[in-house]
Structure 1
Amino acid sequence: MLATESAGTLADLLVGRHYTVRGHDLLAGGISVESLAERFGTPLYVYDAAVFRHCFAGLKEALGGFADIFFSIKANPNPAIANIFVALGAGIEIASGGEYERAREAGAPARDILFAGPAKRDDELDRVIRDGIGELHVECFEEIARANRIAARAGKRVAVSVRINPVAQAQGGAMRMGGKASPFGFDEEQIGDALDAIAEAGQLDLCGVHLFAGTQILDAGVLLAQWRHGLDVAARVARAVGAPLRSIDLGGGLGIPYYSGDGSLDLAAVRRGIDSLAAAKDAEPLLRGARVIVEPGRYLAGPGGLYVARVVANKVSRGTRFIVTDGGMHHHLAASGNLGQVIKRDYPVLAPARMDEARLQRCTVTGPLCTPLDTLARAAELPPLQAGDLIAVMQSGAYGLSASPAGFLSHPRPVEVLIDDGRVASIG
């Protein structure tokens, strides 16, 4: 595990891992964050391609050839970012027709795109079946019937995986996706009926299974147990249909540290568990030739992003110091704690142009919106910031701008910039 606050704040640890400090400046990809704010204005998303590649390489090494990596593009649908992972050999997992467009724009060939999601429209199914899709992950009986009808009209057979809502014992993570009533996939108890429906659909070719039990998983043991359960379910499916599977999608869910006290997913522990998973797969003849897939999103993209805002005012109200900025929940809903969090805790926040200052003040960082929900940090320890200073929210490369109500109060949309090998480009 990555050390937590006992060895310094989470922000300190993340800076040491992914960034550089020179004097008072935080450097992303060798470029001063302050200079980027001056050049592009604020609020601003800053992405570092080197961090994305570092995260991908670390995960690939931990997987040891056991599984292929597909980037879950919902985490950050900017094609310039998805293209980094495509160039590294990743496929793309999508959940809408719009994400199909983004994946193709990012350079992903159709054969390397997987389409999951609980409410695929007919026009989306028609588009991906007509233009090509690697796998269609079917999630309900109506979808099986509609996909079969659309494929017949197009004169095509379509490779499908059946998405399975796993039993409660397999769930885990900060947001549990299985083990309870769910709009996602077929309950594990319904596997037989789902397989019968696919078998009766003449245009659908069952190629595999897809499970997704939870997200934001920081415990390697939980992750490995979920993957083991996925292999067990895949074996049961293969035996039920009496044919080898070609694909086993074990889902995503790999987490990153956001809050004080969080550790990092221990990739060494993941690597130690991979050999037994590979042996279990190879021991089942009907799974031996199947491609295993994992589909992380935030794990690959989250650490490579900063959300940068400029201080507009510094005020004290009834003993609480407020740092009021030009950025907020309309651009970064997750950092405000309003994207599904029950207990609102602070993302790591720092002052990227005052990195050499040890004198800190506890403060609440808020944005420009007319709601108390617009709070980026509730107990941040920052230098005594004044109007014109900068703050930066770390771990912001995933579930940032595209997961936020950017039109609320009609403030300007932030610029997104990508730093790659010393070059800076505006990408949104």
Structure 2
Amino acid sequence: MSDTAGDSLADRLVAAHFPRSDGVLRVGGLDLRDLAEAHGTPLFVYDAELLRRAYRDLADAVSGFAVVDYSVKANPAPEVIRVFRDEGAGAEIASGAEFAASWAAGVEPRHILFAGPGKSDFDIEATVAGGIGEIHLENSEEMRRVAEAAGRHGVVQRVAIRINPGPDAQGGAMRMGGKPSPFGFDEEELDAIVDAVEAEPRLHLSGIHLFAGTQGLVAATLLSQWAYGLSLAARVADRIARPLDTIDLGGGLGIPYFSTDTQLDLAAIRDGIPALIARVKSDPRLREARIMLEPGRFLAGPAGLYVARVRAVKVSRGSRFVITDGGMHHHLAASGNLGQVVKRDYPVAVVVDRGGPRSPCAVVGPLCTPLDMLARATPLPDLAAGDLIAVLQSGAYGLTASPTGFLSHPRPVELLVDGGAAREIGGALRTD
């Protein structure tokens, strides 16, 4: 089996985001070979202008209906957070460390919200003390602990109820609701939870949080989920006899990783927005609420590359193996060991395309485990020691979502390319 140049997902992504010059991938106008020589490999490279483009495209598509915040878990480097902050985004966090990173990036605490099913006492204390804008409650024990922390600090803490919605709201590659879940309160018990929060004098119920799924690539499904979220918000507003301040419709917007994936159609999203706007404007329970989306993967994923250098190429029983200095310890998701049941290949491209036929090969890392495989049958040309490969769609859930301490290999450098220059970022994550 071979692949013709120009017709793969990797080729389309390269053409859209990292156009070649003389066969060489470029990031923000810079030669990727030069970056690898200057900073070593393995290497994560993020293009700030692509981050901005993704944010602006989505914000434009949902303009008039929702604002766009950034889900920090996707890539918590403060320099990446700052790019989105400068575009007007708030931050959605999942730990006290992400709260500190967002604050360091210049996001005002009142524009930060905190979600996650197992918040620690330290994290609750730090975020309440730091004036966080909203904490999203996920269980009754957490409700009690947030109320106690608010009492210690003499504040009334703004909170939202995260709702585990029923099956009518489901969609996306990874469903987060409609079944038993550690995330949020089941929709069936919503009235009782609303009453319990309202009874806490140190809590102010300001909103709801709905997250029905992730890696959603179908516009109609997302629009339907958002409409369902509005219905739940209206129901809660009726229960508390006042309008809500915030309606968090979650993230869940996907990007294509595999050959069978389609790009999320933002034009279709834009076409569906007027009906949602009309619904909000016609309902006094909703019209004053700050409605937000908080994607991470959609904003950060396409802007990143994971670059590795070939150490050896071998053939074993008829199969070609390209052995690199990068692997699952830096990019667990690309190895298929971060939530994939059926392991499929992320888009992979050669950094220097010299032409010639492509044939399937396995791209593996330096770790002594068969799990360390970045691609299983990806079509690549002939390669030799010293060549460079790049895993695309690597700006989200890369380094910090990976077992970086496994086998004690050094951590890779992260670079942000902006304005024709590259600088190292994420230094707090490095130990080498």
Q: Which runs of 5+ in 2 are unaligned?
A: 427-432
Deviation sequence 1:140-169 (CA, Å, 0-9, x none): 111111111111111101111111000012
Instruction: Report the counterpart of residue 288 of structure 2 in structure 1.
Output: 289
Deviation sequence 1:219-268 (CA, Å, 0-9, x none): 00110010010000000000111101110000000000000021110000
Deviation sequence 1:333-357 (CA, Å, 0-9, x none): 000000010000000001112x241
Amino acid at match of 1:46: V
**TM-score, with structure 2 as normaliser:** 0.96
| Cα distance in structure 1, aligned partners of 2:390 and 2:193 | 48
Instruction: Report the counterpart of residue 365 of structure 2 in structure 1.
Output: 367
Instruction: Report the counterpart of residue 133 of structure 1 in structure 2.
Output: 132
Task: State the aligned residue count.
Answer: 423
| Cα distance in structure 1, aligned partners of 2:359 and 2:368 | 25
Instruction: Report the counterpart of residue 203 of structure 2 in structure 1.
Output: 204
Amino acid at match of 1:177: M
Give SS of 1:308's match: strand
Correspondence 1:177-256 to 2 at 5 A: 177-256=176-255
Amino acid at match of 2:115: A
Amino acid at match of 1:118: P
| Cα distance in structure 2, aligned partners of 1:409 and 1:42 | 17
| Cα distance in structure 1, aligned partners of 2:359 and 2:185 | 51
Instruction: Report the counterpart of residue 387 of structure 1 in structure 2.
Output: 385
Instruction: Report the counterpart of residue 78 of structure 1 in structure 2.
Output: 77
Give SS of 2:417's match: strand
Give SS of 1:137's match: strand
Give SS of 1:238's match: helix
8 Å CA contact retained: 1:23, 1:356: no
Q: Which runs of 5+ in 1 are unaligned?
A: none
Instruction: Report the counterpart of residue 307 of structure 2 in structure 1.
Output: 308
Deviation sequence 1:9-64 (CA, Å, 0-9, x none): 10111111111211121101001111111110100001100110110111011002
| Cα distance in structure 2, aligned partners of 1:11 and 1:358 | 16
Instruction: Report the counterpart of residue 424 of structure 1 in structure 2.
Output: 422
Correspondence 1:318-337 to 2 at 5 A: 318-337=317-336
Instruction: Report the counterpart of residue 377 of structure 1 in structure 2.
Output: 375
Deviation sequence 1:61-100 (CA, Å, 0-9, x none): 1002211111000000000011000000000000111111
Q: CA deviation at 1:196?
A: 1.1
| Cα distance in structure 2, aligned partners of 1:361 and 1:293 | 45
Moved more, 198-207 or 119-128: 119-128
Instruction: Report the counterpart of residue 408 of structure 1 in structure 2.
Output: 406
| Cα distance in structure 1, aligned partners of 2:193 and 2:406 | 42
Q: CA deviation at 1:415?
A: 0.4
Give the 3 Å change call, closer, same or farther, for CA 352–208 of structure 1 in structure 2: same
Correspondence 1:144-159 to 2 at 5 A: 144-159=143-158
Amino acid at match of 2:301: G
| Cα distance in structure 2, aligned partners of 1:151 and 1:275 | 39
Alpha-carbon RMSD: 1.1
Instruction: Report the counterpart of residue 265 of structure 2 in structure 1.
Output: 266
Give the 3 Å change call, closer, same or farther, for CA 48–278 of structure 1 in structure 2: same
1:277 aligns with 2:273: no
8 Å CA contact retained: 1:55, 1:299: yes
Give the 3 Å change call, closer, same or farther, for CA 23–7 of structure 1 in structure 2: closer
| Cα distance in structure 1, aligned partners of 2:235 and 2:251 | 21
| Cα distance in structure 2, aligned partners of 1:98 and 1:64 | 31
Q: CA deviation at 1:358?
A: 3.2
| Cα distance in structure 1, aligned partners of 2:397 and 2:150 | 33
Instruction: Report the counterpart of residue 115 of structure 1 in structure 2.
Output: 114
Q: CA deviation at 1:7?
A: 7.3
Instruction: Report the counterpart of residue 92 of structure 1 in structure 2.
Output: 91
| Cα distance in structure 2, aligned partners of 1:121 and 1:378 | 39
Instruction: Report the counterpart of residue 51 of structure 1 in structure 2.
Output: 50
Segments ≥4 residues shifted beyond 2 Å? none
Deviation sequence 1:341-396 (CA, Å, 0-9, x none): 0000000001112x241322321100001111100011111111000101100000
8 Å CA contact retained: 2:11, 2:349: no
Amino acid at match of 1:207: S
Amino acid at match of 1:383: P
Amino acid at match of 1:423: A
| Cα distance in structure 2, aligned partners of 1:402 and 1:50 | 22
| Cα distance in structure 2, aligned partners of 1:185 and 1:330 | 31
Q: CA deviation at 1:171?
A: 1.0
Q: CA deviation at 1:6?
A: 12
Instruction: Report the counterpart of residue 12 of structure 2 in structure 1.
Output: 13
Amino acid at match of 2:367: L
Deviation sequence 1:301-320 (CA, Å, 0-9, x none): 00000000000010000000
| Cα distance in structure 1, aligned partners of 2:5 and 2:381 | 21
Deviation sequence 1:197-229 (CA, Å, 0-9, x none): 111110101111100000000000110010010
| Cα distance in structure 2, aligned partners of 1:112 and 1:49 | 22
8 Å CA contact retained: 2:255, 2:297: yes
Instruction: Report the counterpart of residue 105 of structure 2 in structure 1.
Output: 106
| Cα distance in structure 1, aligned partners of 2:118 and 2:374 | 32
